[in-house]
Amino acid sequence: MIAGNAAISRDVPPQVLAAERNLACGLNLIGLRRRKISTESIGDLKRCYRLIYEERKSPAKRAETALAEGLGHTQEGRAFLEFFLKPNRKFCRPREKKS
């Protein structure tokens, strides 16, 4: 989901809220619940999101590692991680952590 007045020129992962200038702001939890996605799938998505966006490393390498370790065991989690494996993509960056 893209926020109004956002300037997005990079790819936005599935189930992610994007705002401002290519900024990933978290998962669209309200949309997931409205579509009646299971709590197991939402939990898996949260773990996948944290893994990809908690550090400023290559999302593709982190997604590859996560899939090898068994993270993304639900359909939604797997789709989220596989999104980062497609070549020649630039992704929205994570929101900066406040000190």
**Which range marks the domain in which residue 75 is found?**
16-89
Residue 10 lies in a domain: no
The domain total for the chain is 1
Q: Is 81 exposed, middle or buried (0-12, 13-18, 19+ CB in 10 A)?
A: buried
Mean pLDDT, contiguous 10-residue spans, the chain (99 residues): 87 93 94 96 95 87 92 94 92 76
Amino acid at site 40: E
Q: Does 11 fall in a domain?
A: no
User: Cβ neighbours of residue 5 under 8 Å, at least 6 residues apart?
Assistant: none
Residue 76, classified by CB atoms within 10 Å of its CB into exposed (0-12), middle (13-18) or buried (19+), is buried
pLDDT of residue 81: 96
Is residue 3, in this structure, part of any structural domain at all?
no
Domain of residue 57, CATH code: 1.20.1180.10
For residue 98, being part of any structural domain is answered with: no
Domain annotation covers residue 51: yes
Return the pLDDT at 72: 92
